[in-house]
Chain A
């Protein structure tokens, strides 16, 4: 199974910066991370790669569309029973 996250130390080593610098990036939300506990932070590798690439998210337009039915919820989830509500 491929590893899916880096520790702060691993991220720091890969970026060539200090542990404290990566901690600050995480604290500021510039480098997305999962705080598992006070001491353990998981930096998802895809998030790290996106940050390290210097890319910025695509500027997406949100386009309103009139439809009869919106997004469907509970699909495949014992629908017959749910429909009796």
Chain B
């Protein structure tokens, strides 16, 4: 995602629409805060819930993205975190891009993933990941993990 501040606002609004159409109930009062920090960077966070049929447990879906300045009037997405906390299955899945210099120096990668089952059992701190092009793909990846018949982590490659 790259564009003007207005384009980022439109993008965030559309991400919320697509998230809701996937059946994810977005928490909050209806507005989506787009934070502008002291460096001029923009960031947002959407937190939502997926119902779980007969189970009372709900699954949390979290989308975080940050955009840094790109030229005079532009922004480019520089960080992301897409997180699924699936309470009914005791499963966590995360797709991350943050601290890229550290990950590049340590593992020669920019993105990484998380996978825990049960939640809190960290067999591997960071798994090799695939870059996710935008929040639309990020939310779909989370719903893909949520609908998987038997979520597991063993097929992932550990970076540690």
Chain A interface residues toward B at CB < 8 A = 1-5, 32, 34, 36, 42, 44-51, 57-58, 60-71, 73-74, 77-78, 81-82, 84-85
Contact = CB atoms under 8 A, between A and B. Distances in A.
A69 B43 CA distance: 10
B55 A2 contact: yes
17 contacts: A2-B55, A4-B146, A4-B147, A32-B23, A44-B143, A47-B21, A50-B21, A57-B20, A58-B20, A62-B31, A65-B34, A69-B37, A73-B66, A73-B81, A77-B96, A82-B102, A85-B101
Contact of A46 (B12, B51, B99, B101): B51
Nearest to A48: B23
Given A4-B146, A57-B20, A70-B66, 16 more contacts: A4-B53, A32-B23, A50-B23, A51-B21, A57-B16, A58-B16, A58-B20, A60-B26, A61-B32, A62-B9, A62-B34, A63-B31, A64-B36, A64-B42, A66-B35, A82-B99
Contacts of B101: 85
Given A45-B23, A62-B12, A71 B66 contact: yes
Nearest to A84: B102
A67 B31 contact: no
A78 B103 CA distance: 12
Contacts, number: 135
B157 interface: no
A4 B146 CA distance: 8
Interface of B, helix, strand, loop or mixed by DSSP = mixed
Nearest to B29: A60
A20 B33 CA distance: 40
A48 B64 CA distance: 25
Interface of B: 5, 9, 12-13, 16-18, 20-24, 26, 30-38, 41-45, 50-55, 64-66, 79, 81, 88-89, 96, 98-99, 101-102, 105, 125, 140, 143-144, 146-147
Nearest to A5: B147
A63 B63 CA distance: 17
B13 A32 contact: no
Given A45-B53, A60-B30, A74 B140 contact: no
